[in-house]
Amino acid sequence: MLRQYRLITANYWAFTLTDGALRMLVVLYFHQLGYTPLEIALLFVFYEAFGVVTNLVGGWLGARIGLNKTMNIGLFLQIVALSLLLVPASFLSVAWVMAAQALSGIAKDLNKMSAKSAIKHLVPAGEDTRLFKWVAVLTGSKNTLKGVGFFLGGVLLSALQFRGAILTMAIALSLVWIVSLITLKRDFGRSSDKPKFTSIFSTSRPINYLSAARMFLFGSRDVWFVIALPVFLANQLQWSQSYIGGFLATWVILYGLVQSATPRIIATKRATPLGGHAAFIWAALLAIIPIAIATGIQFESPPTLTIVGGLLLFGAVFAVNSALHSYLIIRYAASDKVSLDVGFYYMANAMGRLIGTVLSGLLFQLYNLQVCLAVSALFIATAALLSLGIDQKPDVQKPS
């Protein structure tokens, strides 16, 4: 059991490094080429849009063929996506990069859905404290490495240029894929029956409320973090590409460390497991932060202090929210069809990222960072209210 958990985690880590590096490479490289914030945002539209579909279909596929296979398919597709970006620079049109990002989005969500779903099968029923810790460690370590990936992307772009960086990552991930094919347990997480395709849509009240809350929660982050913030740092604060990459990498690393420590931040030794009330409290706390940052910018507080300090505080509280949500979906997911519920949930996650990414480029181009932050606060408040509908006994679902 522990060996499989380590293999899945290592697989997830390797994928995450390339995913974070690729995102930073695309943002910085195409900003360098003179693309507008909205045009850069559009490069990621298919990445997020295909993630919506992938999570729905991927959860169903994982239940039918096994999570080991969906995880390895995700790795292979990421290698293909990287290979598509090795063409000469003259071929790197918006449409071509969007197509490569579409494959990368499919790959990312297959890999993530498989890794998160697998934990449900590894932790014995009733051990909620261990489940919370394992989910927090997997999620937190993943985001820490995603931050390392941001930094890696900036370094590789400076050292090897765009094509050299992409080639290096494609070769490294190919080696990981070969090892994964050999070592991961066959048919891991495969359902005892063959779920119908209509099972991709959840009929569970807590899963639906949690998924809706997740959509607004992650939309609230990406609406200012994905496009608006890097461009603001470059244009308004005159930060260099390597400095932006290093700062955002450090932020995501710290964010991941807080996620891993969430079980110690939130008391888990209680008579009843954590539920929607805890999610509401932590979301309500988070909603205050973007309002404070926007107010500081509006009243001309030192911009570097306001942005850096506000972003660090936002990251810490957001990390607790994210880790708590990641635990709740595994807790509430039906034991025999966990990948279906997790896939539906991460479909909502991808939808939130898609909405946030598009709005990040659009609102920043039309208005400013303060408007992005105001929309972020509104999204978080909505997530907090939706969290109140989560509480219900887990695994209470209509037959599929």
Check if the beta carbon of residue 43 is closer than 8 Å to that of residue 144: no
Q: Would you list the domain boundaries of the chain?
A: 2-187+195-387
Check if the beta carbon of residue 105 is closer than 8 Å to that of residue 51: yes
What is the DSSP code string of 58-82?
Answer: HHHHHHHH-HHHHHHHHHHHHHHHH
Q: Which of 51-65, 100-114, 135-149, 256-270 has the lowest mean pLDDT?
A: 51-65
Per-residue pLDDT, 399: 40
Instruction: Identify the band that residue 374 occupies on the pLDDT scale cut at 50, 70 and 90.
Output: very high
Helix/strand/coil (H/E/C) assignment for every residue in 76-93: HHHHHHHHHCCCCHHHCC
The pLDDT of 223-231, averaged and rounded, is 86
pLDDT digits (tens, 9 = 90+) for 122-155: 777 667 777 888 788 887 887 788 878 877 887 8
Q: For residues 315 and 214, give the distance between their C-alpha atoms in angstroms, rounded to a whole number.
A: 16
Cα–Cα–Cα angle for 90, 148, 355, rounded to 5 degrees: 65
Is pLDDT larger for residue 66 or for residue 375?
375
Residue type, 212: A
The overall average pLDDT reported for the chain is: 83
Nearest to 380 by CA among 341, 322, 296: 322
Q: For residues 160 and 153, give the distance between their C-alpha atoms in angstroms, rounded to a whole number.
A: 10
Per-residue pLDDT, 394: 46
**pLDDT greater than 60 at residue 396:** no
Q: For residues 394 and 61, give the distance between their C-alpha atoms in angstroms, rounded to a whole number.
A: 23
Q: For residues 226 and 19, give the distance between their C-alpha atoms in angstroms, rounded to a whole number.
A: 14
Number of Cβ within 10 Å of residue 70's Cβ equals 28
The pLDDT of 390-398, averaged and rounded, is 55
**pLDDT greater than 60 at residue 251:** yes
Q: For residues 390 and 234, give the distance between their C-alpha atoms in angstroms, rounded to a whole number.
A: 40
By percentage, how much of the chain surpasses pLDDT 90? Answer: 26
What is the CATH superfamily name and number for domain 2-187+195-387? MFS general substrate transporter like domains (1.20.1250.20)
